[in-house]
Amino acid sequence: MSVLDNFKLSGKVAVVTGSGQGIGRGIAWGLAEAGCNVVINARRKQDLEFTAEGIEERGGKALIYDADIRDNSETLGDLAVDSFGSLDIWVNNVGGSDEKKTRTLIDTPDDTFRNQLELNLTTAFQGAKAAAKRMSSGGAIINISSGAGMRGSPFTGPYAAAKAGMLNMTETLAIELAPKIRVNAVSPGPVVTEAFAEVLGADGAEEEIAATIPLGFLGTPDDIAAAVVFLASPASRWITGRNLLVAGGRTHRAYQYQARLEKDSNQD
């Protein structure tokens, strides 16, 4: 078998939560290109139908589950096995925030904090449990975290805390589920998606953010999909419990350094 053959996922079955748009859609399409049949999930059926079309165009079969994933991971796992006969890959991608307002951590209402933990961390915990029960022949679980979970994150504290918890949970699961199941995380940097553009708003903001990235440009869903395909494939068979930061070189240290430069220049 050649090195390139190790990146193939022909005949594998994958679940990708939060795959109606953006990074989740890109991951679902990337897995389909690598040979997977993919079970996709989001709340809006219309978005999922477009994702499903892309999966089929890339040679895979798609199964839609249009529902809030919270407390529904077991159902999603059953659908995958009942429809395709097995489960090999589970990507916990669902997350973000239903609330667009930013605030300091101490000004965050308790309910908002709990909701962020539930959406960004508890769903991944439930997904990992559902996946592990059904990966009788082994498999890969991949958690989509965030660079925000690797550093202090002013004004998005609940989200960052949940993603930091996801990284710790990834390491714990990797130890507990080895050697049969590998568990890794991918932490995207700034990636241009529908939601990202909505939050970004102002003209010129993309250029300002790109200036904080050593490689000089924002990422795309395909950049994250490539990392997920690698971690799902036999090419990464000796990797577990790791977090892959896909951010153009924008580490938490680089981010803090850039912030200090901006602060110093504003004081001049």
Give pTM, 2 decimals: 0.92
For 108-236, list the strands marked E by DSSP: 139-144, 181-188
pLDDT of 253 higher than 70: no
Dump pLDDT digits (tens) for 140-194.
999 999 999 999 989 999 999 999 999 999 999 999 999 999 999 999 999 988 7
Dump pLDDT digits (tens) for 69-117.
999 999 999 999 999 999 999 999 999 877 778 899 999 999 999 999 9
Closest CA to 119 of 144, 148, 139: 144
For Cα atoms 128, 243, 19, give the angle at the middle one, nearest 5 degrees.
50
What is the fold of 4-267? Rossmann fold (3.40.50)
**Percentage of residues in the chain with pLDDT exceeding 90?**
79
pLDDT of 252 higher than 70: no
- 168 HSE (CA, 13 A, CB side): 9
Q: If you ran DSSP here, which 8-state letter would residue 37 be given?
A: E
My answer on whether omega of the bond before 179 falls inside 30° of 0, hence cis, is: yes
Task: Scan for tokens 């950049």, then name that residue.
Answer: 223
DSSP, collapsed to helix, strand or coil, labels residue 90 as strand
Task: Scan for tokens 């989200």, then name that residue.
Answer: 159
Residue 101 in tokens: 């307002």
User: Where along the chain do its domains lie?
Assistant: 4-267
Q: What is the pLDDT of residue 268?
A: 44
Residue 207 in tokens: 């250029």
Question: Which residues pair with residue 186 across a beta bridge?
Answer: 144, 244
Residue 239 in tokens: 């990797």
- The reply to whether 65 belongs to the active site is no
pLDDT of 200 higher than 80: no
Residue 88 in tokens: 């090999």
pLDDT of 242 higher than 80: yes
Q: What is the pLDDT of residue 257?
A: 44
Cα(156)–Cα(235) distance, integer angstroms = 35
Task: Sort strands 89-92 and 139-144 into parallel, antiparallel or unpaired.
Answer: parallel
Q: What is the pLDDT of residue 262?
A: 46
Task: Scan for tokens 């680089």, then name that residue.
Answer: 254
